[in-house]
Amino acid sequence: MDLPDYAIEAKALVKTYAATKTTPEMQALKGVDLSIPRGSIFGLLGPNGAGKSTFINILAGLCRKTSGVVRIWGRDIDERPRDARAAIGVVPQEIAADPFFTPRESLEVQAGMYGVPRAERRTDELLAALGLSDKANAYVRQLSGGMKRRLMVAKAMVHNPPVLILDEPTAGVDVELRRQLWSYVVELNRKGVTIVLTTHYLEEAQELCDQIAIVNRGEVVACEPKASLLQRIDTRNVVVTPAEPIAAPPNLAGFETRARPEGAFAVTYRTGQSSVEQVLAAVRAAGLHIADVATEDPSLEDVFLSLTYGAENEAPA
Ligand code: ADP
């Protein structure tokens, strides 16, 4: 059988949430085109409200798209919904484990739901891979938060899907567990599983992903291999506190400036193109006296700003 070039493809994908009594109509995805290469570890990044969960819920069949085309493992979700869904395992954001099942039972039930024949079940293998063998027969309510989360990953893998989707997998997870989870994810990827993960931690994506898409306000603002994206985000901030209060950040030729609390402002520069030295020279040339200076690494927000600068996006206050 021919394998698809793309594990997931979305074309002109739109999702509009209808207005309610208390909220206006909301276009959460505004015509998203996204192609996730087979075999990649793909990071879907964006701030809260960007549309990441909406996208994943559409893939998982939990949310109906308004228009556009989605293919999972080459299977159109409108034409072949069951086949499409069989190709993905989704680890949801929220821990939703049944307290009355043991991990072993939980995996068996899940496998049953997916119609995996007993002879093909991999319950013990999954328990071992996720470090849950010695808790196989404990009640789920006796597991730690980290164990529950690993159980969620195991549940998503019972039908051996070629694509695993992790929605904010490490939110609220401690560092050690994060490492464990990542090493399992990397191992799965080595075995050929395409991994899609959403996160708003840039470091996480930076460490793990080979392909990255950045979504902002329902639009894809970048989608490329990590290496080329990182070259685009070689920005740093210099935070300047002027000696005398100023009404607004100065306009500095060649630099973006943004207001910070207490009369300070941040100047963003590109490490390959200029230096802190040049930023400070520009500040002085604008007639400002400097009381204090600090430098900071780029945040995801800086990445967005550098990628969406000049668009209709306003800078956050
Ligand atoms: P993210 O996962 O990137 O934080 P979401 O997909 O959850 O973003 O949300 C995208 C936008 O859609 C947000 O403005 C959010 O308020 C809105 N939204 C999400 N779910 C619903 C819903 N069920 N009904 C109405 N609006 C929603």
**CATH code (residue 268):** 3.30.70
Does some domain include residue 310? no
Q: What is the dihedral of CA 226, 227, 232, 237, to 10 degrees?
A: 90
Residues 44 and 181 in one domain: yes
For ligand 1, atom 12, which residue shows the shortest CA distance?
Answer: 28
Does some domain include residue 212? yes
Residues 245 and 216 in one domain: no
Residues 193 and 165 in one domain: yes
Does some domain include residue 250? yes
* Residue 23 CA, ligand 1 centroid: distance in Å: 12
* Residue 26 CA, ligand 1 centroid: distance in Å: 8
- The first and second tokens of residue 107, run together, are 């995996």
Of residues 270, 262, 279, the one with CA closest to residue 302: 270
Last residue of a domain, one of 182, 211, 230: 230
| CA–CA gap between residue 217 and residue 132 (Å, rounded) | 39
Which atom of ligand 1 lies nearest, measured to the CA of 15? 12
| 290 CB-near residues (< 8 Å, 6+ apart) | 240, 241, 242, 243, 280, 283, 284
54 lines ligand 1 (CB under 6 A): yes
52 lines ligand 1 (CB under 6 A): yes
For 12-43, b where at least 16 C-beta lie within 10 A, e where not — what string?
Answer: ebebeeeeeeeeeeeebbeebebbbebbbbbb
Does some domain include residue 312? no
* Residue 305 CA, ligand 1 centroid: distance in Å: 21
User: Which residues are paired to 29 by β-bridges?
Assistant: 15
Residues 273 and 293 in one domain: yes
Q: Is 212 exposed, middle or buried (0-12, 13-18, 19+ CB in 10 A)?
A: buried
Predicted pLDDT of residue 205: 82
Does some domain include residue 165? yes
Domain count, the chain: 2
192 lines ligand 1 (CB under 6 A): no
Predicted pLDDT of residue 300: 57
Which atom of ligand 1 lies nearest, measured to the CA of 167? 2
CB 111 within 8 A of CB 83: no
- The first and second tokens of residue 73, run together, are 């493992």
* Residue 77 CA, ligand 1 centroid: distance in Å: 21
Residues 52 and 178 in one domain: yes
Residues 269 and 169 in one domain: no
182 lines ligand 1 (CB under 6 A): no
48 lines ligand 1 (CB under 6 A): yes
Predicted pLDDT of residue 304: 62
Residues 240 and 172 in one domain: no
Per-residue pLDDT of the chain (317 residues; tens, 9 = 90+): 689 999 999 999 999 999 999 999 999 999 999 999 999 999 998 878 889 999 999 999 999 999 999 999 999 999 999 999 999 999 988 777 677 899 999 999 999 999 999 999 999 999 998 889 999 999 888 888 888 888 999 999 999 999 999 988 776 677 777 787 888 889 999 999 999 998 877 777 888 899 999 998 899 989 988 877 776 667 788 999 999 988 899 999 889 899 998 889 999 888 888 999 999 999 999 999 999 999 886 665 666 666 655 444 444 43
pTM for the full predicted model: 0.78
Last residue of a domain, one of 230, 250, 270: 230
Residues 37 and 98 in one domain: yes
| CA–CA gap between residue 238 and residue 297 (Å, rounded) | 9
Residues 22 and 154 in one domain: yes
* Residue 54 CA, ligand 1 centroid: distance in Å: 6
State which H helix or E strand residue 16 sits in.
strand 6-17
Residues 256 and 205 in one domain: no
Residues 14 and 124 in one domain: yes
Does some domain include residue 171? yes
Predicted pLDDT of residue 112: 94
57 lines ligand 1 (CB under 6 A): no
CATH number at residue 94: 3.40.50.300
Phi, psi of 113 (to 5 degrees): -60, -35
Last residue of a domain, one of 230, 262, 278: 230
Domain span at residue 272 reads 235-297
28 lines ligand 1 (CB under 6 A): yes
Does some domain include residue 156? yes
- The first and second tokens of residue 143, run together, are 């597991």
* Residue 17 CA, ligand 1 centroid: distance in Å: 8
Residues 279 and 223 in one domain: no
